Structure 1
Amino acid sequence: MATSTPVLPETIYDDLRSSIIAQQQAPGSLVTESSVASRFGVSRQTAKVAIERLVAEGVLRREAHRAARVPLLTVDDIVDLFDNRALVESAAVSRLASSGILPSGAIAAHRALLDAAASGERFADHDVAFHRALVLGAPSPRLARLHELLLGEIELCIGQVQAAQLLTATEVGAQHQGILDAVLAGDSPLASRLIEEHIAGSRDRLVASSL
């Protein structure tokens, strides 16, 4: 008699994360252990493992003795997040430009984003991967840790930017190309300025759409 393959917490985590980033679960909506357990046919304990991981990353929020929710970011949240993100990523690209070396992960993510622009597919994952690769390539373990703390909420915001069509993949790709060119040219001030402008542009459009 055939037995079904058990659903692992990692699978649940990936599925929930993707649906939240893609705005398939609205900001403010509940994500309960019972609903996740029912959806995936797993125990509540297995569902809890996946949910707690998303809470730790900032993709979900949970208050004491309450169910987890998809974060509903305020304007102040968005401004604070993007301004701190700019500090970290600006420092990272400045370090990269000093060496003139482009991280292979950033190049791969940039190409994938351009492919998505050509095909009309979703590009948020490639956008996130590009920025993450820049920071990881700096290299600075402390910058990477700081960025990782922000990454869950960054992904939420990038998902909102894409869902609301505040920026196209073509626009994002052009801005990424400018950053890569500045890094390759060894121009630290320009690389830092371009990534700060890139992040500020997304911040301002997202804030305007939230008012």
Structure 2
Amino acid sequence: MLPMSITFALGSFLKELPAFQSLSRTNQLFLCKNNLRQLIFMNFHELNQACFSEPWQIDACKSIWEFICGPDLHKQFASIQISAEKLIITDPIMTRLWIIILFFSTPLFSYYDPKSTAIKVRKNSLFIDIQTIYVNLLWKYLLNRHGPMESIRIYSNLAFAFLSMLRIGLEVNIRLRTRKDLAPIHETLDDLVKLDINAD
């Protein structure tokens, strides 16, 4: 299904970044477990921008998200998609840099799971240092292409759109964890994150 393929592809890309490979296995695991699934919607938007889809593919994607989200949540999801299309300019380099910046966060989202073992990250400054490098790279890229004022607008729109996506993403993840009919998807996504970090 679509969320699994997105998670696998995005995780494979992020794992190959030199900045990621320079981290300890504990910190790598922390990032994958806490942040990778929260980037599904941003990556989905990126793919919609960069890739052509046949009508049947669009219908299939819609059906998958409707099944996962449910009718009410899917309306919000669709609304945020439309908003993101208006707010975020079509620039694959910018969007991919933004995803990288978000990935090196501490963390994007965490929830209490009594069955899981707490992961302690001792050197959060490592993530901040990596983020700073990519933030500077993105900002210089935007300045070079768009100038100061337009860069501020673009950056602000990126942040606003992602926060909206994150809110829906949190609700979707709650559904995946709590509904029995969606449990296989939740378990597969968790397994993909683990495989992504352990498979070499």
Q: Same fold (TM over 0.5)?
A: no
Q: Which has the higher contact order (CA 8 A, sep 6+)?
A: 2
Q: TM-score, normalised by structure 2?
A: 0.28
Q: Decide which structure has the larger Cα Rg and report it.
A: 1
Q: TM-score, normalised by structure 1?
A: 0.27
